């Protein structure tokens, strides 16, 4: 792991969620409605515990929601109320429970894949401050990791894995063929701060390959923010194969 990467091992997934909720609360105090923090959420099941925690006191009251804006690192091309929708999960478990939902910019899952991709690219460049290379710079990107080493919807061996001259693109789930829009590695590595949330014994083998062997065959191992921070928030079950420090 390089110098700006840290590994945090938690007893259980609930404590990962608590840590991430505290991080969001702290972040929210450092921004204002006029200059909100731009945050990208991950999909999948891991963040659901975080959403539930944030939807209740104390976090629902402590987080300065008006100082935050939410995006997604990837989204399935499905309707927003589809059980497969990453936006749908955040809305169902978190946003709709808040007195005043925060600003969010979701992928237009009802459009055709390429249209949704074009529309999201425009949203990202218009709503998120860009760096000198024209790349949107997120204040915090939350990621998950699949047991195959994918992150966001950047799957090993798919064309999107090597795209460096775009900020988002299309992917297909390798088993289901489900179409998705995803950040490219370019956007992820331009962020100020990136946190992986990964839990469960099913991630242990890949975690070793990614964190210790740094095998960039796997997209999760390609996450290396140019100047931002990177932290791996994992539970003990996922960390079982990592060498003790």
Q: Binding of ligand 6PG at residue 168 (CB under 6 A)? A: no
Minimum distance of ligand 6PG from residue 43's CB (angstroms): 3
Exposed, middle or buried by CB within 10 Å (0-12, 13-18, 19+), for 61?
exposed
CA distances from 230 to 3, 5, 239 (A): 9, 5, 17
Give yes or no for a contact between 72 and 130, defined as CB atoms under 8 angstroms apart: no
- Return the number of the residue (16 or 31) whose C-beta is nearest ligand 6PG: 16
Name the segment binding ligand 6PG (CB under 6 A); options: 36-44, 155-163, 184-192, 209-217: 36-44
Out of 10, 17, 20, 43, the only residue in the binding site for ligand 6PG (CB under 6 A) is 43
Helix axes 13-28, 46-54, angle to 10 degrees: 50
Tell me how crowded residue 214 is: count the other CB atoms within 10 A of its CB.
14
- Return the number of the residue (84 or 215) whose C-beta is nearest ligand 6PG: 84
For ligand 6PG, the binding residues in 138-167 under the rule CB under 6 A are: 144-146, 150-153
> Torsion-angle region of residue 204: left (phi > 0), alpha (psi -120 to 50) or beta?
alpha
Q: Binding of ligand 6PG at residue 42 (CB under 6 A)? A: yes
Site residue total, ligand 6PG (CB under 6 A): 15
d(CA 215, CA 6): 17
- Return the number of the residue (46 or 64) whose C-beta is nearest ligand 6PG: 46
- Return the number of the residue (69 or 180) whose C-beta is nearest ligand 6PG: 180
Give yes or no for a contact between 40 and 152, defined as CB atoms under 8 angstroms apart: no
User: Which residue number has the CB closest to ligand 6PG?
Assistant: 144
Q: Binding of ligand 6PG at residue 46 (CB under 6 A)? A: yes
- Return the number of the residue (21 or 152) whose C-beta is nearest ligand 6PG: 152
Binding mask 60-99 for ligand 6PG (x = CB under 6 A): -------------xx-----------x-------------
d(CA 152, CA 41): 9
DSSP single-letter state for residue 134: S
* Contact positions vs ligand 6PG (CB under 6 A): 42-46, 73-74, 86, 144-146, 150-153
């Amino acid at each position: 792991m390089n110098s700006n990467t840290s590994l945090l091992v938690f007893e259980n997934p609930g404590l990962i969620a608590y840590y991430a909720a505290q991080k969001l609360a702290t972040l929210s105090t450092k921004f204002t409605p006029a200059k909100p923090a731009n945050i990208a959420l991950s999909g999948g099941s891991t963040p659901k515990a975080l959403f539930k925690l944030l939807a209740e006191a104390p976090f629902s009251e402590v987080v300065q929601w008006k100082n935050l804006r939410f995006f997604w690192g990837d989204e399935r091309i499905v309707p927003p109320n589809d059980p497969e929708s990453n936006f749908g999960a955040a809305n169902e478990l978190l946003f709709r429970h808040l007195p005043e939902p925060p600003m969010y910019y979701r992928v237009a899952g009802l459009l055709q894949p390429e249209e949704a991709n074009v529309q999201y690219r425009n949203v990202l460049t218009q709503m998120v401050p860009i760096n000198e290379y024209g790349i949107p710079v997120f204040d915090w990107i939350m990621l998950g990791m699949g047991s195959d080493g994918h992150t966001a919807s950047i799957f090993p061996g798919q064309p999107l894995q090597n795209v460096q001259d775009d900020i988002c693109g299309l992917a297909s789930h390798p088993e289901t063929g489900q179409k998705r829009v995803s950040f490219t590695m370019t956007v992820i590595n331009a962020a100020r701060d990136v946190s992986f949330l990964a839990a469960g014994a099913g991630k242990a083998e890949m975690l070793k390959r990614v964190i210790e062997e740094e095998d960039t065959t796997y997209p999760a191992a390609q996450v290396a923010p140019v100047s931002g921070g990177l932290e791996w928030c994992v539970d003990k079950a996922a960390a079982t194969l990592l060498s003790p420090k």
